[in-house]
Amino acid sequence: MAHDAQVRTVERVERAIAENAFDTYALICGVNALATLGEAEKAKQWAQRVKAIDPEDPSVDYNIACAMATLGETDEALDVLEDCMPRVNAIVFYHWMKQDTDLDSLRDLPRFHTIMQDIEARALALKAKTGDSPAPETEQ
C-alpha cells in the first residue's frame, strides 16, 4: 500500500515538474518518495536538481537529509543536517527533529546527538531571548 502511494507521488511530481521545472516543493516530495522506494540514484539526482534551484533553503536541505537517512547514506545525511541547522528556526526544528521518523536511523550516532544538543541549546537561548515559555515536554 505505501509502495503504491510513493509510486503515485513520483508520477505526480513528474507531471508537476513537466509543467514547472522549478517547483522545489514537488521536487523535494519526489526526492523523499524515491528514497522510500529505494531509488537512490534518481533521488540523489533530484536532490541535486532542487539544490541547484534553491541552494539556501534549509527546509530543502532538511528534507534531503531525511531522504539520505532513509537511503542509509548516514554520513551524507549528517553532513547536510550540520550544514543547514545554523539556518533554521531552532525552536521549530528541534521539536520536529525529536519526532521525525525519517531520522530514526541516525538517532544512536554521536554526530546526531551533537546536532540535537546544539539545536536544543539554540532553541532554549531563543526562547529565553523572546520570553517564550518552553513547551511542555512529553515522553515518547
Q: Print the SS3 string covering 75-114.
A: HHHHHHHHHHHHHCCHHHHHHHHHHCHHHHHHCCCHHHHH
Cβ neighbours, 10 Å, residue 94: 21
Domains parsed from the chain with CATH numbers: 2-130 (1.25.40.10)
Residue-wise pLDDT for 2-45, tens only, equals 889 999 999 999 999 999 999 999 999 999 999 999 999 999 99
C-alpha grid cell, residue 100: 521525525
Q: What is the pLDDT of residue 132?
A: 64
Residue-wise pLDDT for 3-14, tens only, equals 899 999 999 999
Whether the predicted pLDDT of 140 surpasses 50 = no
Average pLDDT value for residue range 84-93: 95
pTM: 0.88
Mean pLDDT (the chain) is 92
Q: What is the pLDDT of residue 119?
A: 97
